């Protein structure tokens, strides 16, 4: 009896990895010592500093496109709009808790920003909201009605649809939208096809489910009209809550340690097992 020959192992194709080994290749830019710091075809220090706004450069670094100043100003106003110095809001309270425990401002603010990477609020819903409105517009252009688009988001007939960009966890309505509508008007914008559809959907939801658009839905619609894709919108708004977290951090940092909203033992409602003896293994 002869055993089958042991197959010779083929060497792996490592070309993909070898090409990248020991080298960083960038299409974004970088620093050429003694020459320039390049960003997407611009010299940062010669062409952008003093000429472009921070938000123009942020959008440039995210998307590779240097947009008109009014687009950047609009985005800056969204950051202003979400700069609530209210320590009850989850991400902001993390800033307060960092301050009261004497973390650095960077640690506290990064932690608060990270907390707002939540499907419930902050930057993350912008991804889903932008994907929804882009998809909804495709459906509308293919002949679907608003009612049919909404019905696709219902788990069961009659149940409120689950659409990111509509409804809020704490309040009904969204006072930030009128403020941003005013900004849009001042900057010379009129609603494009995404935002127009977003309002049509809101009208339907208000009539049948008493639910209205939230700021995420408005931002998604507006920025989609400016030709940004969902990932770009999410990325450029990553830090959108940072200013409010800063405020809350600073206030608790400037007060005695652990004095921010201290809890007594009975503030926690323990509902676990009764006391029991630990068995030996």
Q: Binding string to another protein for residues 5 to 24, with x set by CB under 8 A, is what?
A: -------xxx-xx----xxx
In whole angstroms, the minimum distance from the beta carbon of 70 to another protein comes to 22
Sorted by sequence, the CB contacts under 8 Å of residue 87 that are 6+ apart come out as 93, 95, 96, 248, 251, 252, 260, 261
Using the minimum distance from each CB to another protein, give the nearer residue, 1 or 280.
280
From residue 114, give the alpha-carbon distance in Å to each of 107, 108, 241, 265. Answer: 10, 10, 10, 28
Using the minimum distance from each CB to another protein, give the nearer residue, 27 or 155.
27
Using the minimum distance from each CB to another protein, give the nearer residue, 112 or 221.
112
Residue 138 near residue 271, CB atoms below 8 Å:
no
| Structure-token pair, residue 37 | 């710091």
Residues of span 25-64 touching another protein by CB under 8 A: 25-30, 32-33, 36, 38-43, 46-47
Q: Binding string to another protein for residues 170 to 209, with x set by CB under 8 A, is what?
A: x---------------------------------------
| Secondary structure (DSSP) of 181-247 | HHHHHHTT----HHHHHHHHHHHHHHHHH---B-HHHHHHHHHHHTT--HHHHHHHTTTTTHHHHHH
If one asks whether residue 280 binds another protein (CB under 8 A), the answer comes out as yes
If one asks whether residue 271 binds another protein (CB under 8 A), the answer comes out as yes
Nearest to 197 by CA among 249, 139, 239, 120: 139
Spell 110-133 as b/e; 16+ CB within 10 A means b: bbbbebbeeeebbbbbbbbbbbbb
Residue 133 near residue 220, CB atoms below 8 Å:
yes
Exactly one of 157, 158, 256, 279 binds another protein (CB under 8 A); that residue is 279
Q: Binding string to another protein for residues 97 to 126, with x set by CB under 8 A, is what?
A: ------xx-xx--xx--x------------
If one asks whether residue 259 binds another protein (CB under 8 A), the answer comes out as no
Q: Binding string to another protein for residues 144 to 173, with x set by CB under 8 A, is what?
A: -------------------------xx---
Contact residues: another protein, CB under 8 A? 12-14, 16-17, 22-30, 32-33, 36, 38-43, 46-47, 103-104, 106-107, 110-111, 114, 169-170, 262-281
């Amino acid at each position: 009896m002869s055993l089958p020959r042991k197959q010779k192992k083929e060497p792996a194709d490592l070309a993909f990895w070898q090409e990248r080994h020991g080298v960083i290749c960038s299409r974004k830019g970088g620093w050429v010592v003694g020459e320039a710091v390049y960003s997407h075809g611009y010299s940062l220090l010669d062409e952008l500093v003093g000429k472009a706004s921070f938000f123009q450069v942020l959008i440039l670094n995210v998307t590779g496109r240097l947009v008109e100043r009014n687009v950047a100003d609009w985005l800056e106003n969204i950051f202003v709009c979400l700069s609530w110095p209210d320590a009850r809001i989850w991400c902001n309270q993390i800033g307060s808790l960092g301050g009261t425990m004497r973390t650095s401002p960077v640690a506290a603010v990064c932690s608060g920003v990270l907390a707002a990477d939540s499907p419930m609020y902050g930057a993350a819903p912008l991804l889903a909201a932008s994907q929804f409105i882009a998809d909804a517009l495709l459906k509308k252009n293919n002949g679907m009605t608003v009612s049919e688009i909404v019905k696709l988001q219902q788990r069961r007939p009659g149940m409120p649809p689950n659409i990111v960009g509509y409804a809020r966890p704490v309040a009904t309505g969204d006072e930030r939208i009128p403020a941003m509508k005013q900004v849009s008007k001042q900057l010379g914008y009129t609603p494009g096809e995404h935002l127009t559809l977003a309002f049509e959907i809101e009208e339907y939801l208000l009539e049948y489910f008493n639910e209205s658009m939230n700021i995420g839905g408005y931002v998604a619609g507006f920025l989609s009209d400016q030709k940004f894709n969902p990932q770009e919108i999410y990325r450029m708004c990553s830090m959108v809550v940072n200013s409010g977290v800063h405020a809350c951090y600073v206030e608790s940092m400037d007060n005695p340690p652990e004095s921010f909203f201290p809890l007594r033992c009975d503030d926690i409602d323990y509902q676990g097992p009764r006391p029991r003896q630990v068995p030996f293994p």
